[in-house]
Amino acid sequence: MVKTGPLRVLVVDDSAYNRRNIADILSGSDEVEVVGKAGDGEEALRLALSLKPDVITLDLEMPKMDGFTFLRILMVRQPTPVIVVSSYSQKENVFKALELGAVDFVAKPSQRLAPDASLRREILQKVLLVRYLRPLAAVSQRNSAIPPLPRSTATPPVLSTPQPEQPSARSVANIAARFIVGIGSSTGGPTALLEILSRVPEKFAGAILIAQHMPEKFTRTFAERLDRKSAIRVSEAVDGDIVTARRAFICPGKMCMEAVVSQGPSGMGWNEIRLRVGPPSQHDRYIPSADRLLRSLAPVGSRAYGVILTGMGDDGVAGARAIRAGGGTIIAESEETAVVYGMPRAAVKAGVVNEVMGLPQIVDWVAQLS
């Protein structure tokens, strides 16, 4: 949808200082009207149900009713786009909130919202993005349509936080990947990626490489969360990582990731694939760059699969074109399930897509690759 008229926003934060700053940031735009402020979860729920705002900015740590309880009740009684405004120290909580229905988040350096120009710009941009969201009721139906996959008893327990680099208890055989799946995503992507990774079977014969638009310091926590919920190993990519079967890698925030393919003898595929992780170049319009990742998979040929999920913009189009030219396959998420139908739409419009699928179909399709 594209909403016309000013977006009506409810600001929720237990800090009066933060409420005032966020309201001032949003009120500076003619496209936004701040219709209410709340200092705790109970007041926020009452105002949300009575004012029916177009979007809510939400701090998760609140008295009387925390942000998680607020989200659970809100998404049942009155689904509303929620942008979480949370500190870097609450990374795990951000992903829990996204799984409960929040559409995106803004990371602040500390509990107090400093008047930083880039942060102010990001808050306004994330709120204005709500104009392009599909109705949240449809998003909820998208997620509920995906049945859970029976979990292996070998799935490891939650990793201890002080040592995120320790491998999980899950055994990882050093088996060459038979194919590579590259995924590009932005707004709405974390939840979609969770659905995909949680359904990938333990004996998955390929590897999955992911470029999700996300700030630095959050991608490692995101990878750890996916790892706990997946039957294959998921980790934040490190420069030089070897790409093998039963592995998934998340590009670190503020960096770009490419697959470096060492070709084998003619007709014999590749000898080895390693990851190159480094800072963006002046040509990278999005960071992490789905274009750069997908383009690097072109040498894999017919065993390269590109998936373009929900998100604003056109990241992934150039990379998808390269995969198609190399004989690979491109799948785009459908408008019916994409939270923001920007990246998939651009790929479809460019004519670089083999097939368009809803998220439940993409989940099944990836899980059944062999």
**What CA–CA distances, in Å, run from 21 to 8, 12, 15, 115?**
17, 12, 10, 8
pLDDT value for 64: 87
**What CA–CA distances, in Å, run from 15 to 60, 82, 211?**
12, 18, 34
Residues contacting residue 361 through CB under 8 Å, at least 6 positions apart: none
| Residues marked as catalytic | 186, 213, 315
pLDDT value for 73: 95
Q: How far apart are CA 65 and CA 68, in angstroms?
A: 8
pLDDT value for 31: 94
pLDDT value for 119: 84
pLDDT string in tens for the chain (370-residue length)? 456 689 999 999 999 999 999 999 999 899 999 999 999 999 999 999 999 999 999 998 888 898 999 999 999 999 999 999 987 667 888 999 999 999 999 987 665 666 678 888 889 999 998 988 877 544 444 444 444 433 333 333 333 333 444 444 455 567 889 999 999 999 999 999 999 999 999 999 999 999 999 988 899 999 999 999 999 999 999 999 999 999 999 999 999 999 998 875 554 466 789 999 999 998 888 999 999 999 999 999 999 999 999 999 999 999 999 999 999 999 999 999 999 999 999 999 999 999 999 999 999 999 999 8
Global confidence as pTM: 0.84
pLDDT value for 170: 58
- Distinct helix (H) and strand (E) counts, the chain: 12, 14
pLDDT value for 2: 54
DSSP-assigned letters across all residues of 191-225: HHHHHHHHHS-TT--SEEEEEE---TTTHHHHHHH
Q: How far apart are CA 160 and CA 93, in angstroms?
A: 16
In the chain, the amino acid numbered 220 is R
Q: For residue 133, what is the enclosing H or E element?
A: none
